[in-house]
Structure formats: C-alpha cells, structure tokens
Amino acid sequence: MDLATIIGMLSAIILVATAIGLGASPMIFLNPIGLIIVVAGSLMIVLSQMSFSEVRLAMNAVTRAFKSTLPDIMSTIDEMLEVSKMARKSGLLALENHEASSTFLARGLQMLADGYSPDMLKEVLDKERLMTLDRNRAGARAFSLLTDVAPAMGMVGTLIGLVDMLANMDDPAKIGPAMAVALLTTLYGVLIAQIIANPIAEKLELRTLQQERLQALWTDALLAIQQGRNPRVVEQVLVTYLPQDQREKRQEQLEAQEAVDREAGTA
C-alpha cells in the first residue's frame, strides 16, 4: 500500500475539515446545488473526453497504484543477479521455477526457459512494456483532466450563482443562497482538483516512470542472461539504472569484490 499519498491526502482533507469545523456553522459549507454542478458536471465532462474502456483502465491503474508498491532498483538488481547465477549454474530451464517479483519478469523468465530467440524475447517484452505504459497513462490522463475541469466547473457554478443573485436583487431572501452557490462551487472545484485529482495524477505519472524503468531493467537483464554473460557483467549493466549516489557506492563494492577475487586467484 502506498502510504505516502494516502497520508498526504487524508492530512490535507483533515486540515480543511478542521478549519471548516472551527467556524460558526460547518453546515453552511454544504451546498447540494454546488456539489451537483461541480462533482457531477466534472465527472461527465471527463467522461465525454474518454471512452468507457479508458475510464475502466484509469480506475484499475489507481487501484494498483495505491494497493501495491513497486520493488526498488537495488533489490531488483540483486534479484536479477540471483537469476543470472542460477541460469549460469543450472541452465535457462531452471528459471521457470524462480518466484519472480512481478508478472512482467515471470513472463520473461518463462520465455527464457522456453527457448525464445533474443529478437522475439525483446519484441514481446517491449510490447508488454508499451501496453503497461498505455494503461498507466490512461489513469493519469483521467485525473489530469479532472484537475483542469473541476475548477472550471466551479467557475461555471460561480457564474450561475451570480446571475441568480443579480436577477433577484429585489428579493433579499434569495441573494444569500445565490451567493453561497457562487462562492462554494469555486471552493469545491479547487478542493477536488488540488486535494484529490492532482495528487493522484502526479502519483500515477511517477509510478509510470518507475515501472518503465523497472521493465527496461528486467529486459536488459534477461537479454544479458540469455546471452550467457557473467553475473558480474550483468551487474555492471544494471547498476546504470541506480541514482548517482547509489551507483557510486555499488561500483565501489564491485571493485572491492573484484580485488578480493584477484587476490584469491593469485594466492
């Protein structure tokens, strides 16, 4: 579960709710007409710009993003080194028994065990990566649209409230409710965009980049393993995916291990 986003969103909601609760009457912030205009209107406009299948993909992407976390690069490199050593010791057929950390990697290992050619392996994994990116981007696009649409619908509600207010200037009893719609719809639009939609869209964009990087790493590792490269060579290829500070630390560890191995070989 992605606790960072959940904690951040809930904290923001609690802060806003607390500020409202400390006022004279929290119920004055609840306006059914404004909610209908902003919430229902925004959802319908987003739907009009997407297909039902894209909306379904968006909901699935959000569910996966919040329910599961991706493995970090360092642990992924360690896993692929373990796979490389297994392949070198027992052959590619043994890889089908490895419990992979992702379905993408599991499919690649099965293809290695089945004897796919390097070109076919790369083609299939590249297509799988593109499809995964499309699914994730559909989710991000839906919430990016909502980020733009919700404040716009809030402004629509504001204009409706102002028109209603100006049309009833001769009736003071109707000015207050009309002004409430005008102000609260803007508030609803901003809250939906900045507390809900935008954080989810940014999280999905970040997850897309992380997943793309991981799948590229897995593909490079699988191709190197298929070519029978030494696990140390495989590690040299994969450390390029690490951030600079971690890469330097890992490189120092590699060089130290190579020095130990050279000393052991000359002893």
pLDDT digits (tens, 9 = 90+) for 253-266: 777 766 666 666 55
Instruction: pLDDT band for 28, please (50, 70, 90 cuts).
Output: confident
Residue 132 has pLDDT above 90, yes or no: no
pLDDT value at residue 221: 92
pLDDT value at residue 150: 94
pLDDT value at residue 1: 55
pLDDT digits over 217-231, tens only? Answer: 999 999 999 988 888
What's the CA angle centered on 35, arms 139 and 55, to 5 degrees?
20
Instruction: pLDDT band for 24, please (50, 70, 90 cuts).
Output: low
DSSP classification of residue 10: H
Token pair belonging to 218: 């897995």
Q: What is the Cα–Cα distance from 140 to 59, expressed in whole angstroms?
A: 10
The pTM for the full model equals 0.79
Per-residue b/e over 59-88, b at no fewer than 16 CB within 10 Å? eebbebbbeeebeebbebbebbbebbebbe
Instruction: pLDDT band for 181, please (50, 70, 90 cuts).
Output: confident
pLDDT value at residue 267: 47
What's the CA angle centered on 248, arms 105 and 218, to 5 degrees?
10
- Which sequence spans correspond to the domains of the chain? 31-262
Token pair belonging to 93: 């057929």
Which secondary-structure segment (H or E) carries 62?
Answer: helix 52-67
Residue 64 has pLDDT above 60, yes or no: yes
